[in-house]
Amino acid sequence: MRVARSIAELTGLRAEVPPGRRVGFVATMGALHAGHASLVEQARALSDTVAVSIFVNPLQFGPGEDYARYPRPLEADLERCAALGVDLVFVPAVGDLYPPGRQVSVSAGTMGTVLEGAARPGHFDGVLTVVLKLFNLVRPQVAVFGRKDAQQLACIQRMVLDLNLDVRVVGAPTVREPDGLALSSRNVFLSPTERALALDLPTALERAAAHRTLPEALAAAHAVLDRAGLDPEFDLDYLTAVSPETFAEVAHDAGGDVLLTVAATVGSTRLIDNTLLDLREPADPPAVPRLPSPR
């Protein structure tokens, strides 16, 4: 495994990749866990050379958010990358990606101003700005992102489409801990009591997914989350049904694929989760032939 700690080093190592070899890329902020490992494994399945970036991006943190305390176990992350068979790791400094006097950034548009974008103004602009820079520097053919961060994935896919970027963006399934909680680097901030409360998020989504209409699904999820909200340590931000491509809110009689997305602050930790609802009407059962009546 090769490690580049500057743009110059990355440029040199990227030039060593033989022409014709597909480069798969996983962008991370470090504190790697099994969810990141699954992204690396999918990138490996889709490419010949796997590159990973480790960079805690200050542009996607707002005032009062956890940028300063975000975990940065770099040596452990590098060991994990080596164990996963990663070929190239890019660990830039903030000054490398954001030179003095920086003025230009990427706007996520309307999609970046709703839900997480409303709660964290400018967050998705910061995400897209760093992802575009990393795409330009790593030059992958394939990039894998987790579906847990569904709005981020949708914004990145929109950027690739709108800016004609030559990279295929793949969404990977959410990886969960044995108790059902979606894996996140922020889970380490939860106390045992808070973690028990946090489990109401995947429980609410699981209950919703058992229903075939959106009103029933929302009611089932709210039954769980409203009970959780009786605890002062649980603060529900939103439970919303949206289009998975545009993140526009859907009507209550919507059918087909609908993304149910939820966000809550548990203690001092903000958590997000989602599930894709299949609201298609079940097919009519085949008609049972009627036997003639006995005479």
Q: Establish whether 147 is an annotated binding residue.
A: yes
Q: Establish whether 253 is an annotated binding residue.
A: no
Q: Establish whether 148 is an annotated binding residue.
A: yes
Q: Establish whether 130 is an annotated binding residue.
A: no
Q: Establish whether 111 is an annotated binding residue.
A: no
Q: Establish whether 36 is an annotated binding residue.
A: yes
Q: How far is CA 180 from the centre of its chain?
A: 16
Q: Establish whether 69 is an annotated binding residue.
A: no
Q: Establish whether 62 is an annotated binding residue.
A: no
Q: Establish whether 154 is an annotated binding residue.
A: no
Which of the residues 36, 123, 222, 252 is marked catalytic?
36
Q: Establish whether 211 is an annotated binding residue.
A: no
In sequence order, what DSSP letters do the residues of the chain get, joined into one string? Answer: -EEE-SHHHHHHHHHTSPTTPPEEEEEE-S---HHHHHHHHHHHHH-SEEEEEE---GGG--TTSSTTTS---HHHHHHHHHHTT-SEEE---HHHHS-TT--------GGGGSTHHHHSTTHHHHHHHHHHHHHHHH--SEEEEEGGGHHHHHHHHHHHHHTT-S-EEEEEPPPB-TTSPBP-GGGGG--HHHHHHHTHHHHHHHHHHT-SSHHHHHHHHHHHHHHHTTSTTEEEEEEEEE-TTT-PBPPTT--SEEEEEEEEEETTEEEEEEEEEE-PPPPPPPPPPPPPPP-
Clarify whether 36 is annotated catalytic. yes
Q: Establish whether 270 is an annotated binding residue.
A: no
Q: Establish whether 21 is an annotated binding residue.
A: no
Q: Annotated active-site positions, please?
A: 36
List, as residue ranges, the binding site for beta-alanine. Answer: 60
List, as residue ranges, the binding site for ATP. Answer: 29-36, 146-149, 175, 183-186
List, as residue ranges, the binding site. Answer: 29-36, 60, 146-149, 152, 175, 183-186
